[in-house]
Amino acid sequence: MNIYAISAMINFITSTALAYFIYSNNFKYKSYLFLNVSVAFWSFSYFLWQISVRYDAAFFFCRLLSLSAVFIPYFFLEFIIDIVDKKSDYKIVHVINLICLIAFSPLTFTPLMIRDIEPILSFSYWPKAGTLYILFLLYYSASLIASWIMMYKAYIINKNDKTKLSYITLATSVGLLGGITNYFLWYNIHIYPFGNIMASAYVLIMAYAILKHNLMDIKDLIKTGIDHTIPFLISLICLWIINDLLPIPQIYKYIIITLVGGMFIRYYNYRKHLEFQEKQAVLEEKLQRMSVLESMRQSISGCAHDLKNPLGQIEAFTNNLVRKLPRDVAKDEYISFCLEVLQEATATLSTRIKDMLSEIKSTYALSGTFSQSAGNDRYSLIEAEAETAKRVLGVYSGIVNRDLPDTIYPAIPMNTLIIILSNLYTNAFAALSTASAPSITITARDLNEHYFLLEFADNGKGIPQEHQNKIFDLGYSTSGSSGIGLSWIRDTVSLAPNSGDITVKSTPDQGATFILKLRKKSS
């Protein structure tokens, strides 16, 4: 086995692993999945060709790798079109790309693409290009050049994803340029295919970009890798030991191999069952919490209403007492002071109860809107924030900085998101009372195909470390408010079908940042 067969096997393993992770994590761009499958198929065919000792087997695998090589530039170009998100602008490119795929695929098993295989340099069998193979190489090169042009245009326009685009351009270019070195020997140019291993470099760069820029959920990525890759490798080692090292008759080897494979499949199904149970337990916990919160809401609302009646009587009695008291008694300094305090206290308590009822009604009343048709309206995050700002900012409008992409469409109903943002604005205003140069910064970015992150930051007094784990508890407050708003936000964004989250980062006297993970509207 030569170094090129080994590099092909490394390419096969790395590209297969990346394709598997992409599939397992529902990566947004399916064209990228098929690109990696094509690279894996090409690499495996390359490996089988390099270890072939018979002419007919080597010839067959050469044609097989040529077939997969046709799919690589096709899916590569489709992936770039998906990445730059300009399908309508590149319809002609898509059509030409498809025509080339349809034209070249059936020709790979004819002499027009590969006329023969012959010994050259240290290789026993190397393909010789047919008459039309030069056209395929032109298509291959044109795909690479077209992708560079599209990525450059996207890089100039897009101010948020420049680094991500750079990594993708670098990775795919390294892989495809490395693959080109295989074609010199096809035309008797004595240059070894030294760039073959660069396909693995492409996988590593893309993996780094995925982890660095959250193209997939890193927690799911690692969990999937541990759960599935390790037992799969153990199964392969067991099969190798059984097949190559143990002196067992062949029929018993087949039986043992079948049992080992069955055990791996059983383990895989068991892991899937556990994942389902975990998700079900989380959902049941959320529903139970919402049920408890609804009961508490009703109790609080009932208590507030019960307090309103006697409080109203006290307030009316106090006002009547002020009017009915004889002048000489009313002028008494102590009595006058007591009546004034009593009036202020009842007025404050009445306002507080009214505000609490209003807050409960405006927040929890929307908890059941997720299943209603009102949530089906498509709107952008920018629209929701602008509507919120119009309602709550007032004199604070000059202190807000925004960096919101116009391509994010939340799944949560717009009126619910407006109330969430209103609560965050209200909390920020309270925190900014001590800031010398108050500011609020709102940013958003894509997390993956299904979610986006919304960060709401202020430079106010911050939240002490000992309070950060409690601020989402119902009724807990550090500012004298009802403590309902943040608790409602947490339960609203985490309730199915949203399955989102809210967390906080804060340093005292340096401000606080609330980070919301929200589901995107499916297109």
Q: Where are the domains of the chain?
A: 3-216, 372-519
d(CA 494, CA 486): 12
**pTM of the full structure:** 0.48
d(CA 349, CA 356): 10
d(CA 174, CA 191): 18
Q: Which of 176-180, 292-296, 498-502 has the lowest mean pLDDT?
A: 292-296
Residue 107: strand, helix, or coil: helix
Query: Which of 108, 48, 47 is closest to 72 using CA atoms?
Result: 108
d(CA 359, CA 159): 39
Tell me which of 3.40.50, 1.10.150, 1.20.1070, 1.20.58 is the CATH number of domain 3-216.
1.20.1070
CB 119 within 8 A of CB 48: no
Q: If you average pLDDT over residues 306-316, what whole number do you get?
A: 73
Q: What is the pLDDT of residue 369?
A: 42
Query: Which of 58, 39, 38, 40 is closest to 49 using CA atoms?
Result: 58
d(CA 295, CA 405): 39
Q: What is the pLDDT of residue 371?
A: 38
Question: In CATH, which superfamily holds the domain spanning 372-519?
Answer: Histidine kinase-like ATPase, C-terminal domain (3.30.565.10)
Q: Does position 140 have pLDDT exceeding 80, yes or no?
A: yes
d(CA 120, CA 9): 22
> pLDDT: is 394 or 401 the higher one?
401
Q: If you average pLDDT over residues 31-48, what whole number do you get?
A: 86
Q: Does position 229 have pLDDT exceeding 60, yes or no?
A: no
Q: How confident is the model at residue 375 (pLDDT cuts 50, 70, 90)?
A: very low
d(CA 66, CA 129): 11
Angle of the 162-180 helix axis to the 55-84 helix axis, nearest 10: 160
Residue 115 backbone zone (phi > 0: left; psi -120 to 50: alpha; other: beta):
alpha
* Helical H segments across 325-406, by residue range: 327-330, 333-364, 381-392
d(CA 52, CA 124): 9
pLDDT tens for 86-100 read 777 788 888 998 999
- Order across the sheet with 440-446: list the strands: 400-403, 440-446, 451-458, 511-519, 501-507
Between the ranges 129-143, 161-175, 422-436, 490-504, where is the mean pLDDT highest? 129-143
Tokens 């240059």, residue located: 191
Query: Which of 136, 119, 116 is closest to 179 using CA atoms?
Result: 136
- For the chain, percent of residues with pLDDT exceeding 90: 10
Tokens 């007032």, residue located: 394
pLDDT tens for 192-228 read 887 776 666 666 676 666 555 555 444 454 455 445 5
Residue 83 backbone zone (phi > 0: left; psi -120 to 50: alpha; other: beta):
alpha
